[in-house]
Amino acid sequence: MPPKSDSVEGIVLNFVNEQNRPLNSQNAADALQKFNLKKTAVQKALDALADSGQISFKEYGKQKIYIARQDQFDIPNGEELEEMKKANSKLQEELADQKKLISEVESEIKGLQSNLTLAEIKSKEAKLQSEVQEMEEKLNKLQSGVILVKPEDKKIIEEAFSEKANQWRKRKRMFKELWDNITENSPKDQKEFKEELGLEYDEDVDVNFQSYSEMLANLSKRRKLSR
């Protein structure tokens, strides 16, 4: 007589039949924790079910392996298996089609989400118009001969830039000489040593001194021409 479905043996029997694969008591106990069943209770139920012939088991040394009785299941013949394979293949094709359709819909949704709303378009248009107006005002001032930067202010800025650029060049040269002396006979890889010390070159932070050097050279040329 089968156990009640809500009893420990009933829960364990239902689990073993649903899994229909080799299980040990630990496998079953782990899976049945949601029913608040302890391993000892699960082990006792498995042994009782095996003794009553409701499940099968085999012993491998001290280990017992339990499995559902196979005579309770309808085992398909060769023809039925072939039909099942064809049905599975068809379902796989339908699944692939559905996944493709879902992917297309998701792409379309992302495209729609990336488009600006009418309110966003109007806001962006107003911002661009304001920027255009501001640039037009600056252009009109330049065309009318208005000096936007005083000569004395321009001179101060150029001198500060020149000093900073020269200091930059000087310190790059000093660092290179010092670094070459330190690493000349060092067995360490220079790149790893640099990372270990937390050093960063200009190139590491996307800064190119050459562009600033060219600006400094152009500045010097303009100064010579204005004399």
Which of left, alpha, beta for 169 (phi over 0: left; psi -120 to 50: alpha)?
alpha
pLDDT of 50 reads 92
* Structural domain boundaries enclosing 39: 8-72
Residue 51 counted as domain residue: yes
Task: Work out the average pLDDT over 150-173.
Answer: 82
Per the CB < 8 A criterion, the answer to whether 161 and 216 are in contact is: yes
Residue with tokens 């060092």: 186
pLDDT of 67 reads 93
pLDDT of 27 reads 92
- Of 23-27, 108-112, 205-209, which has the strongest mean pLDDT? 23-27
Residue 37 counted as domain residue: yes
Residue 43 counted as domain residue: yes
Residues paired with 65 in a beta bridge: 58
Tell me the C-alpha distance between 34 and 14, whole Å. 14
Residue 139 counted as domain residue: no
- pLDDT tens profile 5-21: 788 999 999 999 999 99
Residue 182 counted as domain residue: yes
pLDDT of 31 reads 92
> Given pLDDT bands bounded at 50, 70 and 90, which one contains residue 139?
confident
Task: Work out the average pLDDT over 104-132.
Answer: 83
Task: Work out the average pLDDT over 129-151.
Answer: 77
pLDDT of 110 reads 80
Could you tell me the pTM of the whole model?
Answer: 0.37
| Of 77, 72, 55, 73, residue with least CA distance to 64 | 55
Enumerate residues 6+ apart whose C-beta is below 8 A from 149: 157
- Residue, of 113 and 94, whose pLDDT is higher: 94
Residue 107 counted as domain residue: no
Amino acid in position 159: E
